[in-house]
Structure 1
Amino acid sequence: MKAYVFPGQGAQFTGMGKDLYDSSAQAKAYFDQANEILGFDIAKIMFEGSAEELKETKVTQPAVFIHSVVSALVQDSFHPDMVAGHSLGEFSALVANKTLGFEDALKLVSQRALAMQRACEMNPSTMAAILGLDDHIVEEICATVNGVVAANYNCPSQLVISGTNEGIAIACEKMKEAGAKRALPLPVGGAFHSPLMEPAREELAAAIEATNFSNPICPVYQNFDAQAHSDVAEIKKNLILQLTAPVRWTQSVQQMVADGALDFIECGPGKVLQGLVKKIHKEAEVSSL
């Protein structure tokens, strides 16, 4: 079975999507539509913008989403048996399995980005990558530090934590004392996938509830519980809960493998997910579109 997977924020690079735009009339139409929906020339920033411009909140998430979705939709051979996305990538996955239309999903992604930015400004906070510790040890240490939680289960021995600036600094020291190979603060604007994103979750919930969702053509394995979902009400609920809950990527890939996934195809910028999939399941076949 073929599993198509979609990356999240951080995968962006200057020039992303230019090859698609130049080689496919269908892709060009999607980029032109995206410029119209967002009200600015995001294609120009994706193709020519600096790393700094691409890091702007209103740009980053829509840019990764557009590149990911268009790279999948322009393929005649695109017939997913299952889909999943890492954080933001879950919205791309939901377009790929026809739960959401391109326009509706892009509007949600844009609203999500701006809502997360506002939440970051309300609660100064950050994230850190913890390498070389078992998940349960990281969880135990987080439980001893006020305002710090496990945020991204990326692969075995690679977990990202989220919390207040002070809490993350304390937690990183404790992780090193416990034997972590690295405890590395990340250059992000806030504590994503933690309770500090509650204001953004409330904002996004209203937008999701007002958006039309259709029955998917294949299951989506969602970040919130790492399970396959085809029921629209469940998909909506989990998409809302995702903002304040951890990304269970390790568990999602394990479940997809258990359900018969053999080939994992990454759609979008970069190759981060291919590397994570290989670390989670060495026998998996990985590739990109």
Structure 2
Amino acid sequence: MSKQAFIFPGQGSQFSGMGKNLFETNPLAKTLFEQANDILGFSISNIMFTGTDEALKQTNVTQPAVFLHSVIAYKTIDGATPDMVAGHSLGEFSALVANGTLAFEDALKLVSIRANAMQKACEINPSTMAAVLALADDKVEDICAAIQAETGEIVVAANYNCPGQLVISGSLKGIEIACERLKAAGAKRALVLPVGGAFHSPLMAPAKAELAAAIEATTFNMPTCPVYQNVVAEAVTNPLEIKQNLIDQLTGAVRWTQSVQAMVADGATNFTEVGPGKVLQGLVQKIHKESVVAGVN
């Protein structure tokens, strides 16, 4: 029997005007946006609807904005009944609202705490990320490990997006060295990304204690369907495990390729990306060409 997977995007999918149509056409969406403004203590809806790209790039805005667009879009779908859910990085919080693990308000508060904690970690350790194209994952991992062993600079595989597309994360020097070596090893491209820091690497450790405390203090319910979490790339339904994986995700890799493969192995045939952009639809098609993909935004 074919199964329906709902998937949720992460940071980088934001755009000026995001969510505006939902706000203007759906009473529930309007109520949820207004509730979010109250919870956050500033008008995030104004920034989403009319803000500049620069304003939307600030981590403390981007993460709640993408989360809100995704979750509010999901809540306006008539009769949505996923058999499984997953989210890319930040999108995992959206997925946990979709499967009933987290209440909307609690998840928004956690996303805001996570964003601010990550911003502070970026300021403590200037760092970055780079996209590596057309080089085998194990080759990238080996080169990163060799650089760390030789130089002491942190550089790790951070996002396994799809076969032939891996993002690395680390110190400014570590990423600079890695880009040179990866291109020399045959990578089609090794391109530094315009991000604020080394997400999904040990350099995010300063943010972990704050996020962990907030997660431990939040109620996690039994989910209505499994979530395929980034750090383990397999179905999880135990709330205690979900909590720990969410904490570990901050410094661990996003195993998106492996997560989609696990969902397909468990019967997923249809993937619906809910939220801004179409990034995940493209990645799913590269990971498993036979999957049917669609988007709701």
Q: TM bucket by the smaller chain?
A: over 0.9
Distance in 1 separating the partners of 2:58 and 2:179: 27
Aligned partners of 1:118 and 1:180: how far apart in 2?
32
SS in 1 for 2:147: coil
Q: Which residue of 1 aligns with 2:146?
A: 144
Q: Unaligned stretches of 5+ in structure 1?
A: none
Q: How does 1:167-178 map to 2 (within 5 A)?
A: 167-178=174-185
Deviations 1:81-105 (A, max 9, x none): 1000000000000000000000000
- 1:61-72 matches, cutoff 5 A: 61-72=63-74
2:131 counterpart (116, 129, 133): 129
| 1:92-120, Cα deviation, whole Å (9 max, x unpaired) | 00000000000000000000000000001
What are the within-5 Å matches in structure 2 for residues 22-101 of structure 1?
A: 22-101=24-103
Secondary structure at the counterpart of residue 27 of structure 1? helix
Query: 1:201 is matched with which residue?
Result: 208
Secondary structure of the 1:84 match is strand
Once residues 78 and 106 of structure 2 are traced to their aligned partners in structure 1, the CA distance between those partners, rounded to angstroms, is 23
Structure 1 Cα separation of the partners of residues 59 and 12 of structure 2: 11
- Report the Cα offset of residue 167 of structure 1: 0.4
Specify the code of the residue in structure 2 equivalent to 1:133.
L
1:58 CA drift (Å): 1.5
Aligned-residue offset at 1:77: 2.4
Correspondence list, 1:181-200, <5 A: 181-200=188-207
User: 2:287 matched to 1:285?
Assistant: no
Selected match of 1:20 from 19, 22, 44: 22
Structure 1: distance between partners of 2:89 and 2:279? 13
Paired position in structure 2 for 1:212: 219
Give the one of 105, 108, 119 matched to 1:106: 108
Q: 1:258 corresponds to which letter in structure 2? A: A
CA distance in 1, matches of 2:226, 2:75: 17
Q: Which of the residues 142, 154, 164 maps onto 2:161? A: 154
| Map 1:257-272 → 2, pairs under 5 A | 257-272=264-279
- Aligned equivalent of 2:258: 251
Establish whether residue 164 from structure 1 lines up as the match of residue 171 from structure 2: yes
User: In structure 1, what is the Cα distance between the partners aligned to 2:116 and 2:281?
Assistant: 28
Q: Report the CA distance between 1:75 and its aligned residue.
A: 1.0
| Map of 1:5 onto structure 2 | 7
Measure, in 2, the Cα distance between the counterparts of 1:127 and 1:75.
35
Structure 1 residue 9, shift from structure 2 partner: 0.2
RMSD, aligned α-carbons: 0.5
After TM superposition, give the deviation of residue 60 of structure 1 in Å.
Answer: 0.3
Q: Give the residue type in structure 2 aligned to 1:199.
A: P
User: After the TM superposition, which parts of structure 1 deviate over 3 Å for at least 4 consecutive aligned residues?
Assistant: none
Give unmatched runs, 5+ long, in structure 2. 149-153
Report the secondary structure of 1:130's partner residue: strand
TM-score, structure 2 normalization: 0.97
**TM-score, scaled to structure 1:** 0.99
Aligned residue pairs: how many?
289
2:228 aligned partner, one-letter code: Y
**3-state SS in 1 of match to 2:161:** strand
Q: Secondary structure at the match of 2:290?
A: coil
What SS does the aligned partner of 1:173 have? helix
2-side partners of 1:195 and 1:95: how far apart? 27
Aligned counterparts of 2:161 and 2:248: Cα–Cα separation in 1: 18
Task: Decide which moves more: 112-121 or 68-77.
Answer: 68-77
Specify the SS of the correspondent of 1:145. helix
- 2-structure distance, mates of 1:6, 1:183: 26
Query: Which amino acid letter does the alignment assign opposite residue 248 of structure 1?
Result: R
Q: Distance in 2 between matches of 1:202 and 1:193?
A: 15
The whole-number CA distance in structure 2 between the counterparts of 1:199 and 1:53 is 25
Look up the match of 1:226: 233
